């Protein structure tokens, strides 16, 4: 049986209906959730994605606002969004500063990710959500309505794999990919690494491939593979292959792919020859994930809106989730104080040098 091309837009329809049902359940005259996108990069792809997202949100009845800002004003704009009760979700378009370090020790972009409020992080990239993912913690606390937010593109791949029948239908939460082997050719902090953790948390054996190394992810940990392990050797045994190489010339050799494999391309370029791939019996090929990714973004916004911006009891006891939010804000505040201290020391050194 020849291979099949799976169209992401058909998968997205299921979640489109889910989002519209949620909006229909809101009290009369309640404004729809608002997502604010902070665009401080000159990358035309980021602006195109922002505009495309806005169009999709408006079609589904959600509100989306793009705010174009200069690099030097990003932190100020982010703080305003964190404090604005009318903003229910925040997305920051990266890269802004690339690998430029921050005074807190990590990259400046990492610092920004950790500065987004837990209550508004639709991308699931803050310290709280990242550590929960890598520790396989699925709820922020014992409240069943406190599910963690997961990165949108990685989550879209999971939903596509569910659609393609890779996940077992058993009710077990942690073992629905038991016995499956997956290879991800990408280890970015936005897509490849979180996806590897998500699949491993669900029971799969995952090989994470980057330019200079291959790591094996399994539930509870990862280890670097020996030098004899190659991309070819892990792809050949994989039930799932996800490609995310941001290079136009890269093509995954189709002779490495076995029958009945699900191949998902998350790169902006086609990382595989579709015609050759579809000659392989039983293969399912997903050339693009964008429309499912946007639906996951919308879904995350609705989840945050429900968890943090409605159903708050005015009984004076507060919300138990506020302690976690305070912890995240304290972490960001400590990082900011550290950054200012280091800046002051640096400026003092420059001043002393100029006085000589």
165 lies in a domain?
A: yes
pLDDT by residue (tens digit) across 40-89? 988 888 888 899 999 999 999 999 999 999 999 999 999 999 999 999 99
pLDDT by residue (tens digit) across 288-343? 999 999 999 999 999 999 999 985 543 333 344 444 544 445 555 544 445 444 44
CA distances from 291 to 8, 97, 294, 296, 298 (A): 6, 27, 5, 9, 11
Q: How many domains in the chain?
A: 1
175 lies in a domain?
A: yes
24-38, 103-117, 302-316: which range is least confident on average? Answer: 302-316
281 lies in a domain?
A: yes
Q: Find the catalytic residue in 81, 152, 157, 182.
A: 152
Q: Report the largest interatomic distance among the alpha carbons of the chain, rounded to a whole angstrom.
A: 79
Q: Which pair of tokens denotes residue 278?
A: 């579809």
Task: Give the model's pLDDT for residue 99.
Answer: 65
d(CA 167, CA 173): 11
Task: Give the model's pLDDT for residue 238.
Answer: 99
pLDDT by residue (tens digit) across 179-231? 999 999 999 989 999 999 999 999 999 999 999 999 999 987 899 999 999 99
76 lies in a domain?
A: no
d(CA 207, CA 294): 26
d(CA 140, CA 114): 16
231 lies in a domain?
A: yes
144 or 99, higher pLDDT: 144
The average pLDDT across 118-126 equals 96
pTM of the model: 0.84
pLDDT by residue (tens digit) across 198-209? 999 999 999 999
d(CA 117, CA 329): 7
125 lies in a domain?
A: no
74: which residues sit within 8 A by CB, 6+ positions away?
Answer: 38, 40, 92, 96, 112
SS3 22: helix
Task: Give the model's pLDDT for residue 39.
Answer: 96
Per the structure, the complete domain to which residue 278 belongs is given by: 153-290
110 lies in a domain?
A: no
SS3 123: coil
CATH of the domain at 214: 3.40.50.720
Q: Across the chain, what does the average pLDDT equal?
A: 87
152 noted as active-site residue:
yes
Q: Is the Cβ–Cβ distance between 192 and 230 less than 8 Å? A: no
d(CA 38, CA 109): 13
d(CA 38, CA 55): 16
Question: How far from chain centre, in Å, is Cα 318?
Answer: 30
201 lies in a domain?
A: yes
Give the single-character DSSP code of 125: -
Task: Give the model's pLDDT for residue 131.
Answer: 94
């Amino acid at each position: 049986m020849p291979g099949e091309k799976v169209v992401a837009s058909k998968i997205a329809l299921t979640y489109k209906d889910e989002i519209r049902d949620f909006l229909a359940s809101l009290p009369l005259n309640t404004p729809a959730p608002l997502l604010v996108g902070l665009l401080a990069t000159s990358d035309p792809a980021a602006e195109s994605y922002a505009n495309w997202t806005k169009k999709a949100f408006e079609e589904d009845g959600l509100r989306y606002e793009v705010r174009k800002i200069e690099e030097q004003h990003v932190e100020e704009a982010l703080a305003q969004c964190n404090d604005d009760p009318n903003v229910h979700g925040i997305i920051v378009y990266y890269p802004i500063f690339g690998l430029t370090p921050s005074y807190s020790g990590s990259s400046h972009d990492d610092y920004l990710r950790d500065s987004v409020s837990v209550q508004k992080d639709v991308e699931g990239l803050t310290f709280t959500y990242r550590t929960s993912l890598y520790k396989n913690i699925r709820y922020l606390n014992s409240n069943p309505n406190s599910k963690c937010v997961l990165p949108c593109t990685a989550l879209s791949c999971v939903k596509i794999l569910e659609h393609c029948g890779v996940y077992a239908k058993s009710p077990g939460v942690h073992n629905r990919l038991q016995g499956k082997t997956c290879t991800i050719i990408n280890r970015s902090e936005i897509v490849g690494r979180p996806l590897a953790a998500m699949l491993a948390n669900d029971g799969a054996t995952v090989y994470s491939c980057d330019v200079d190394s291959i790591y094996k992810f399994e539930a509870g940990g990862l280890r670097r593979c020996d030098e004899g392990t190659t991309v070819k050797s892990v792809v050949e045994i994989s039930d799932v292959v996800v490609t995310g190489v941001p290079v136009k010339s890269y093509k995954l050799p189709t002779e490495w792919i076995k029958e009945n494999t699900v191949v998902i391309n998350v790169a902006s370029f086609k990382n595989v020859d579709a015609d050759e791939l579809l000659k392989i019996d039983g293969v399912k090929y997903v050339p693009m994930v964008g429309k499912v990714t946007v639906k996951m973004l919308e879904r995350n916004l609705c989840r945050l809106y429900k968890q943090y911006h409605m159903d708050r009891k005015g009984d004076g006891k507060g919300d138990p989730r506020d302690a976690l939010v305070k912890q995240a804000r304290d972490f960001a505040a400590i990082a900011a104080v550290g950054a200012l201290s280091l800046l002051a020391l640096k400026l003092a050194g420059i001043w002393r040098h100029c006085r000589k």
